Structure 1
């Protein structure tokens, strides 16, 4: 080997060491941000929700406090800039401008305040953008990393989602399916190292899995019902997407953003008084449904599930319209679980389908998420990560692909891809 070849090999080794080393750092810090946000949100959301159980009037007050606090922080601490969710990541990748450092505390605090005070979104999108900002800031700090901007941002996003859902595959696939179409070996390796670092941090600091669910088997006889359910999941997805986009199109209804706070808070508050199960991200309500998934069919239960399906997307849309932080990630999971349980109950009662309700709740979570963000593989492996096994892999793949295809035929846009007419 010539001295020139040796020098080239040494430079290449140094380059890879730098890239993978910074990927490990991005993964660790993104995971720390995600876990801290997750832990704080779970703690304060549970505490405030418990208080509201004993004092129902607090459900009318909490959304106002949350939205008002977000507005004050935006005006006095975050440069009067509204958070636009994942659109900020898309804009950064498109324009070449990095995400500013203040986007980390901005999305962290705004996501926390939105959910703990009852706003019906979730912290996933806040985590995604905050984690993307971690990668973006790293890319801005040294000339060497500037040509790897997309890889650094995707490393932050994938490791943040890994920390939330204990599924590195879901984190990496979300970056590839939704954020960036860049599928190079280098990008995959950087994301893999970031996710590895995130898993290590999660092992020591994560408060635990999102849902404690035990899945043992599924029945082949459920296949025809899975195909029908995929259409039902797609309908719920389109309803959620159109609800969010409709309220978004009414952003100019009030001349100033602060004028939207009170009407939004009133609508959310009334919705929570009627259906307290929808408080915050709604995961606490889904945990109850998982525990009671074998409940017998009753008109009261069916009416409750239908009400949740109808109201949840509307409250999510109003929360975002009123200035709350978040997106459609958690609402898709919650809506999907409700849709799955409703479908299984009705099919078992009227058609003796013998479906396993808990399976359909998990499949519903993946199906609605897949259809809403048009990322079937992300949805499949996210749910596998939640359950900790791959028993439902085949039905998940089938339903997610079919629901995503059906939703795209019904409505070609997602909340990420829709562009209002000029």
Structure 2
């Protein structure tokens, strides 16, 4: 797979880190304001359901009602601004419409309205204004992101919104999916619903047959979150990415070498024989590796054996897949990940670092290597969590899986599934289309001076095969166009001669586009007319003629992702 130039960069992740940090503090600040109001009104830190009892019961409607009145004043002012300036405040609408920014004043007044309602006991949740303010913080931060990062402000708003929602519910995975599903409108997630139902029925069937225990025995252990464990999760993510990249490339080269053997039986026989030779060192490399993972989690291997098995399993998988053996890479990837994760954690323990339970890192490695090989990090995270039924692994598994997938992605390595490569290519083409400027598709356009003859316009039109010839002045400023059909009609009716200046037939009210407009704006400009070409000007003020934009070039660019 060709590496992305824009769609996913390290710089994007570097922006996401401070955005998430600031968004969490924004939500904390909102909570503190509500707490402060509770202390002022009720002299208590208790929830409103308990704190309200410090006032006599007949004051309760008055307090909630007064809060509602104050909230109404703030909200009315926000709505007035929105109607006067025709702006959209809701962060989901900003993300969906790819707008430049979340409006500051209306967001703040809506937040004040919410504070008045919540502080006085209205039956509404806190998450709405908290996420809105988080999105606002992302929008403000997005203004300082360098243009070279190729990030729209709405992209930063999306990061902040997901971070804000995660801060409220402590559910990072669900928060990210929510923003993707609701704000970006990813149709694939909507198509996921029947797949979930089908998968759930299959699992319920297995449960009804008595197969209810998790695949891997890690449900009782708790992953202790501290600086060292986070750093080791990140290290495993990087190493898993490198291992996944190595495995993908080794498999590719192995297939190329085995392709020289024309006979499939002979090819598979050679591959099987080579794996059998490796099994002389250890039979644990045979099969898919499920039993070996259980032994790793039980702590049956020391560090030297873990490293040896990792090398042997990588070689055996390369030989089997390269020789065209029919089967999957999921479980071999899980085994390599378990070996890698426990090996790294065991090394840390030998160095007397506080890594905690080293065996838990098997799950971290499993998810990371699976994400790297499949290029499907979300699937890898959820699969490992479901196979272990250990929710304490969520955060380290997320870190390692995303980082491993990112490493492979940036190393320009193909996925083991060609369809994923096709999805990436379409995604990058769509990203390019959304972020390209009209200036990148400009072609030369025929242009005449105002005093030149209509005869010359006909000659230029014939040579260039264009229905319209553009008219400019001596400074290159666009003045209008002349229609070849209109010239022909008026010459035949003897209203003008071939020596008449083009100024007598010029149309000075002709649609145009500007070089700094986006491809989408160019597309919308063509949707309003029936023309094949539109003149491109430098900007609305100077209106200097730069060339032409063709509908065909836009369609060809769009075909890359349609």
* Counterpart for residue 155 of structure 1: none
Alpha carbons 1:347, 1:355 under 8 Å: kept: no
Alpha carbons 1:239, 1:313 under 8 Å: kept: no
- Calculate the aligned-residue CA RMSD, in Å: 2.8
1:195 to 177, 192, 199: 199
* Counterpart for residue 398 of structure 2: 397
Choose between structure 1 and 2: higher helix proportion: 1
* Mapped partners of 2:326, 2:210: distance in 1: 23
* Counterpart for residue 376 of structure 1: 377
Alpha carbons 1:245, 1:415 under 8 Å: kept: no
Moved more, 350-359 or 220-229: 350-359
SS of corresponding position for 2:259: helix
* Counterpart for residue 223 of structure 2: 217
**Could you list the per-position Cα deviations for residues 197-235 of structure 1 after superposition, in whole angstroms to 9, with x for gaps in the alignment?**
212212123645322223223231311222222111111
SS of corresponding position for 1:292: coil
* Mapped partners of 2:310, 2:200: distance in 1: 37
After TM superposition, the structure 1 = structure 2 runs for residues 117-266 of structure 1, keeping only pairs within 5 Å, are 183=187, 187-205=191-209, 207=211, 208-213=213-218, 214-221=220-227, 222-266=229-273
* Mapped partners of 1:226, 1:276: distance in 2: 29
User: Alpha carbons of 1:259 and 1:235: their partners in 2 closer, same or farther (altered >3 Å)?
Assistant: same
Deviation at 1:185, TM superposition (A): 6.6
* Counterpart for residue 514 of structure 2: none
1:292 to 299, 318, 323: 299
Alpha carbons 2:248, 2:416 under 8 Å: kept: yes
User: Alpha carbons of 1:387 and 1:335: their partners in 2 closer, same or farther (altered >3 Å)?
Assistant: same
Pair 1:270 & 2:277 matched = yes
User: Alpha carbons of 1:302 and 1:377: their partners in 2 closer, same or farther (altered >3 Å)?
Assistant: same
Alpha carbons 2:233, 2:397 under 8 Å: kept: no
* Mapped partners of 2:321, 2:210: distance in 1: 28
Deviation at 1:302, TM superposition (A): 2.5
* Mapped partners of 2:292, 2:408: distance in 1: 26
**Could you list the per-position Cα deviations for residues 283-309 of structure 1 after superposition, in whole angstroms to 9, with x for gaps in the alignment?**
11121111116x7xxxxx322222211
Deviation at 1:351, TM superposition (A): 4.8
User: Alpha carbons of 1:185 and 1:216: their partners in 2 closer, same or farther (altered >3 Å)?
Assistant: closer
Alpha carbons 1:244, 1:313 under 8 Å: kept: no
Alpha carbons 2:313, 2:336 under 8 Å: kept: yes
Q: Which has the higher contact order (CA 8 A, sep 6+)?
A: 1
* Mapped partners of 1:392, 1:197: distance in 2: 25
* Mapped partners of 1:185, 1:309: distance in 2: 35
Deviation at 1:186, TM superposition (A): 5.2
Aligned length: 238
User: Alpha carbons of 1:325 and 1:358: their partners in 2 closer, same or farther (altered >3 Å)?
Assistant: same
SS of corresponding position for 2:351: helix
* Mapped partners of 1:323, 1:269: distance in 2: 16
Structure whose CA Rg is larger? 2
User: Alpha carbons of 1:253 and 1:211: their partners in 2 closer, same or farther (altered >3 Å)?
Assistant: same
- TM-score of the two chains, using structure 2 as the length reference: 0.39
After TM superposition, the structure 1 = structure 2 runs for residues 31-110 of structure 1, keeping only pairs within 5 Å, are none
User: Alpha carbons of 1:186 and 1:288: their partners in 2 closer, same or farther (altered >3 Å)?
Assistant: closer
**Could you list the per-position Cα deviations for residues 10-62 of structure 1 after superposition, in whole angstroms to 9, with x for gaps in the alignment?**
xxxxxxxxxxxxxxxxxxxxxxxxxxxxxxxxxxxxxxxxxxxxxxxxxxxxx
Alpha carbons 2:254, 2:323 under 8 Å: kept: no
* Mapped partners of 1:409, 1:329: distance in 2: 22
* Mapped partners of 1:345, 1:394: distance in 2: 20
* Counterpart for residue 290 of structure 2: 283
Alpha carbons 2:248, 2:413 under 8 Å: kept: no
Structure 2 unaligned residues grouped into runs of 5+: 1-172, 423-562
* Mapped partners of 1:401, 1:276: distance in 2: 32
Alpha carbons 2:337, 2:370 under 8 Å: kept: yes
* Counterpart for residue 124 of structure 1: none
Alpha carbons 1:305, 1:342 under 8 Å: kept: yes
SS of corresponding position for 2:417: coil
Deviation at 1:411, TM superposition (A): 3.6
* Mapped partners of 2:381, 2:268: distance in 1: 36
* Mapped partners of 1:377, 1:185: distance in 2: 12
SS of corresponding position for 1:274: coil
Alpha carbons 1:332, 1:369 under 8 Å: kept: yes
* Mapped partners of 1:184, 1:370: distance in 2: 19
* Mapped partners of 1:240, 1:342: distance in 2: 18
Alpha carbons 2:245, 2:413 under 8 Å: kept: no
SS of corresponding position for 1:304: helix
SS of corresponding position for 1:404: helix
Structure 1 unaligned residues grouped into runs of 5+: 1-168, 296-300
- TM-score of the two chains, using structure 1 as the length reference: 0.52
Choose between structure 1 and 2: higher strand proportion: 2
User: Alpha carbons of 1:184 and 1:280: their partners in 2 closer, same or farther (altered >3 Å)?
Assistant: closer
Alpha carbons 1:218, 1:359 under 8 Å: kept: no
* Mapped partners of 1:340, 1:267: distance in 2: 27
